[in-house]
Structure 1
Amino acid sequence: MASIEITRGKPVWQDGRAVALLMAAMLTTMANATISPALPGLERAFADDPNAAMLTRLLVPAPSLSVALCAPLAGIVADRLGRRAMLLAGVALFVISGCAGLVLPDLPTIFASRFILGIAVALIMTAQTALIGDYFTGEDRNALTGLQISARNFGGLVFISLAGWAAATSPRLPFAIYGLAAVFLPVMWLVIVEPTRASPRSDAKAADSHDGSASWRFPLALLVILQAATNMIFFLMPTQIAFFLEAQGYESAIMTGTVLGMLMISGGCFALLYPRLQRVGGYAGIFALGYAAMALGFVLLPHADAVPPLFAAALLIGAGYALVSPSFVALALNLAPPQSRGLAGGILTASIFIGQFCSPLVSTPLIAAHGYRGLFEGTALLLAGMALLAGGALRSWRKAF
């Protein structure tokens, strides 16, 4: 695939293609969490189902599993058949499967629709990541990777707030919010164009020049592992914070919403600063700063018997995650040859959701063994080590980037 560069001198967010790709980024946050406020109501609505308690709790993480399984395959298809059709098909499937909960008759069929929703997310995220690499280069690419994290955070804040209002009316009504994605489709249809495919000979030359000894695959594998670990750690907040706050004596529903809202606002704001900070400190500096902020946040969490350290912890964790996340995409797109960007995007997408899916599986036994204080302090130590290792590794590879 040949890169299509943006016209220089124009901010990246003024490019129609960038706007369409940011719309796609907003959908990925909508996928899992939108129906969270409706879960108690859904459990009551389907109380006759003997598995209602289990199935309602699995509705939120269900898309993550299908994303993790399907995203690498979607990446291969994107490299061979193109990105535009995959993105449009993914958004259309997103609308249909997301809204299906409005009319499906029982929890098992709604649960199945959530797996299909995950396939849609895999198509969207994989195509979107590859198109960022195809359309933009250099600072424009870095700016857009930061903007997409802001779009996810602010979009998630809006969609979850709407879902809370809708769930107060009917537990099925939050499924209608997925229909908002249909508004994005005409914009994507008009502005997203398929990048020009290079000839087989030039593809071969690009591959030879880009990974003569498969040199890009090893750094990419390390990035994927690091991203999975980062998301596993970050997902401690949405999966465990409500139970932690309840143990601390807070009114968990109100305080959980406040803490997660601050997490998203902080992340959205700091992601806007990503291009400037990356230019000053480079990728090594960004990873060191981001992981240090997350580590400090998790150090403060055990002292959340007071409100100020709790809010400070949420702000620091949100900011740190928002700073490191864009670098995974930017580095992967810099490493992967053009004809493999779809595969790289698919693998990156899978690693995000594998980390999310594994987070409660790993953290719950640790909480049982060491309590929340042990979990949070151990996580802080791990993040500090990740900051040192990531910074050192990136410095040793600086010529590759």
Structure 2
Amino acid sequence: MTKPTLGVETTTRRAGAWQATLLLAGSCMPVMGSVLITPVLPQLSEHFGDQPGTDVLVPMIVAIPALMIALFAPFAGQIVDRAGRKNLLIVAMFAYALAGTVPAWIDSLTGILISRAFVGLFEAAIMTVCTTLIVDYFHEEHRRNRYLSLQTVATTLGATLFIVIGGAVGSAGWHAPFWIYAIAIPIAVAMIFSLWEPSREDSTDRHVPTGEKSRVPWRILGLPLIVTVFGGFTFYVMIIEVSYLVAGTGVAADDTATIGLVAAIASLATAAGAFTFPRIAKTGTRVLLPLAFGLQAVGMIVVWLFSGFAGVVVGAIVAGYGSGILLPSLLTWVVSRTRFEERGRATGWWTSAFFFGQFATPLLIGAITGASGAPLPVAVGAVGITAGIVAALLAFGLRRHEAVTSTAV
């Protein structure tokens, strides 16, 4: 009787729905950091209105975390690959809860901005580790696709829920919503007992051969990261601008019920697109990305050409559905070809690219409307035309790119 050979299956634990639930909950923390406090921004502007630069600094309370994620996610990826996944996630979750609740008990705009920068720093680690662990735990293609699509569903629906919660709790004052960040603590405690560090000897996963140095696989990441920056931008255009588009159709700015309803419908369309992804994932990136960008293009052009209320609603639904397919498609494009020892850095760079696109969205839309003097629907239509061009380029270019990079995997 021979002894088992080194390299045979060494994994004794198999992740299930509970581990997936915790990782999806963790993935929602960066989204909560972005949208939870948006309903109380007017209160913050009024409270700090006598301070210089309030018009710029108060919106930065929302924008700074996304910028910090973009800047620091690659560093988080380095830590993930070199020091491990689980410990970084647990520390980041507790630190996120602490930094997130700081504005609940201080009354300083500068202090709030500093705490928000730290929130973004810890979000970079949380998002990078959660995504990496989803692929580590569920690296079989059908399970990976299912949970990466559910990550989009959870974060999209979570964004809508957090806006509602933030608005309801914000009626007690602008300090109140910041206490909700403490929800990360019980999630972190559950993670301590339910998650584990993946084995570097798990033969069911893909690994860098013994003796080969693990490097960031730039050859296969270059194009996906460039496309992801643009995808992060198009993904957030409708999310950020839909309320202004609805108000531009004649709906009163204080008619939050109507504006919120349209935003919720668009959010549900994004979730529906993400639910579709596992069923069409086998068609491959060369089909999915042109399809996703094409749907975004159609939706945004509809908003431009039919800029009445009905046009905005229909356009938001179509673009949102495309966005739901886009996000897991972009992520799968990157992580499906990475090996265990390089996966954290690849995921970190992808996270950085996507959130850089998010951070740039209001800046680019403002630049388009400011430079051209065009109304917002025209600017959205211009983004839609660009998305259509990108869809066409990807449809023709991905076949060649995959052929060139196939030898790098």
Please say whether Structure 1 and Structure 2 have the same fold, judged by a TM-score greater than 0.5: yes
1:231 alignment partner in structure 2:
232
Q: Distance in 1 between matches of 2:344 and 2:110?
A: 33
Q: Distance in 2 between matches of 1:219 and 1:75?
A: 17
Show structure 1 runs of 4+ deviating over 4 A.
Answer: 1-7, 206-211
Once the 2 structures are TM-superposed, how far is the Cα of residue 366 of structure 1 from its aligned partner? 1.3
Q: Distance in 2 between matches of 1:299 and 1:5?
A: 52
Give 1:244-263 correspondences, 5 Å limit. Answer: 244-253=245-254, 254=256, 255-263=258-266
Q: Distance in 2 between matches of 1:335 and 1:224?
A: 14
Whether 1:145 aligns to 2:148 is yes
Question: Where does the alignment leave 5 or more consecutive residues of structure 1 unmatched?
Answer: none
Once the 2 structures are TM-superposed, how far is the Cα of residue 354 of structure 1 from its aligned partner? 0.8
SS at structure 1 position matched to 2:199 = coil
Q: Distance in 2 between matches of 1:233 and 1:268?
A: 16
Letter in 2 for 1:379: V
Contact 1:130/1:341 (8 A) holds in 2:
yes
Indicate the RMSD between aligned Cα atoms, in angstroms.
Answer: 2.6
Contact 1:37/1:164 (8 A) holds in 2:
yes
1:136 alignment partner in structure 2:
138
Q: Distance in 1 between matches of 2:211 and 2:227?
A: 25
Identity of aligned residues (%): 25
Question: Where does the alignment leave 5 or more consecutive residues of structure 2 unmatched?
Answer: 1-6
> Aligned pair in 2 of structure 1 residues 15, 55: CA closer, same or farther (>3 Å)?
same
Contact 2:289/2:330 (8 A) holds in 1:
no
> Aligned pair in 2 of structure 1 residues 105, 342: CA closer, same or farther (>3 Å)?
same
> Aligned pair in 2 of structure 1 residues 186, 22: CA closer, same or farther (>3 Å)?
same
2:241 alignment partner in structure 1:
240
Contact 2:72/2:121 (8 A) holds in 1:
yes
> Aligned pair in 2 of structure 1 residues 335, 203: CA closer, same or farther (>3 Å)?
closer
1:188 alignment partner in structure 2:
191
Contact 2:245/2:312 (8 A) holds in 1:
no
Q: Normalized per residue, which structure has more helix?
A: 1
Once the 2 structures are TM-superposed, how far is the Cα of residue 312 of structure 1 from its aligned partner? 1.1
1:345 alignment partner in structure 2:
347
Letter in 2 for 1:158: L
1:222 alignment partner in structure 2:
223
Whether 1:386 aligns to 2:387 is no
Letter in 1 for 2:232: N
Give 1:319-334 correspondences, 5 Å limit. Answer: 319-334=321-336
Contact 1:300/1:309 (8 A) holds in 2:
yes
SS at structure 2 position matched to 1:273 = helix
When structure 1 is superposed on structure 2, of 236-245 and 178-187 the one drifting more is 236-245
Superposed CA deviations along residues 63-94 of structure 1, whole A, max 9, x for unmatched, are 01111111111110111000101111111111
Instruction: Indicate which of 139, 154, 157 corresponds to 1:154.
Output: 157
1:69 alignment partner in structure 2:
71
Q: Distance in 2 between matches of 1:3 and 1:168?
A: 53
Whether 1:287 aligns to 2:294 is no
Contact 1:210/1:337 (8 A) holds in 2:
no
Once the 2 structures are TM-superposed, how far is the Cα of residue 160 of structure 1 from its aligned partner? 1.2
Once the 2 structures are TM-superposed, how far is the Cα of residue 293 of structure 1 from its aligned partner? 1.2
Letter in 2 for 1:287: L
Once the 2 structures are TM-superposed, how far is the Cα of residue 105 of structure 1 from its aligned partner? 2.3
Q: Distance in 2 between matches of 1:86 and 1:133?
A: 17
Contact 1:294/1:383 (8 A) holds in 2:
yes
When structure 1 is superposed on structure 2, of 263-272 and 55-64 the one drifting more is 263-272
Once the 2 structures are TM-superposed, how far is the Cα of residue 373 of structure 1 from its aligned partner? 4.1
Contact 2:28/2:154 (8 A) holds in 1:
yes
Give 1:2-401 correspondences, 5 Å limit. Answer: 14-137=16-139, 138-198=141-201, 204-205=208-209, 216-253=217-254, 254=256, 255-279=258-282, 281-368=283-370, 369=372, 370-398=374-402, 400=406
TM-score, normalised with respect to structure 1:
0.89
Contact 1:295/1:384 (8 A) holds in 2:
yes
> Aligned pair in 2 of structure 1 residues 237, 6: CA closer, same or farther (>3 Å)?
farther
Superposed CA deviations along residues 117-159 of structure 1, whole A, max 9, x for unmatched, are 0011001011112212221221111111101000101111211
Once the 2 structures are TM-superposed, how far is the Cα of residue 275 of structure 1 from its aligned partner? 0.3
Q: Distance in 2 between matches of 1:4 and 1:154?
A: 33
Contact 1:303/1:310 (8 A) holds in 2:
no
When structure 1 is superposed on structure 2, of 38-47 and 319-328 the one drifting more is 38-47
Once the 2 structures are TM-superposed, how far is the Cα of residue 5 of structure 1 from its aligned partner? 9.5
Q: Distance in 2 between matches of 1:331 and 1:61?
A: 27
Contact 1:206/1:338 (8 A) holds in 2:
no
Contact 2:234/2:296 (8 A) holds in 1:
no
Superposed CA deviations along residues 235-289 of structure 1, whole A, max 9, x for unmatched, are 222433344444432223524423322221111222112100213x222222122
2:3 alignment partner in structure 1:
none
> Aligned pair in 2 of structure 1 residues 273, 243: CA closer, same or farther (>3 Å)?
closer
SS at structure 2 position matched to 1:171 = coil
Once the 2 structures are TM-superposed, how far is the Cα of residue 343 of structure 1 from its aligned partner? 0.5
Q: Distance in 2 between matches of 1:243 and 1:324?
A: 24
Superposed CA deviations along residues 307-328 of structure 1, whole A, max 9, x for unmatched, are 2221111111111111011122
Q: Distance in 2 between matches of 1:259 and 1:100?
A: 32
Matched residues, number: 390
